[in-house]
Amino acid sequence: MIGRTRTALKFFVYGLVVGLLFAPRSGEETRARVMNWAGQAVKDTVGG
pLDDT given at position 48? 61
**Environment class of residue 12 by beta-carbon count within 10 Å: exposed (0-12), middle (13-18) or buried (19+)?**
exposed
Residue 13 has pLDDT above 90, yes or no: yes
φ/ψ of 42, rounded to 5, equals -65, -45
Contact present, 16 and 23 (Cβ < 8 Å): no
Confidence of residue 11 (pLDDT cuts 50, 70, 90): very high
Residue 39 has pLDDT above 80, yes or no: yes
Return the percentage of the chain with pLDDT > 70, whole number: 98
22-35 average pLDDT score? 84
Residue 14 has pLDDT above 80, yes or no: yes
Give CA 44 to chain center in angstroms: 16
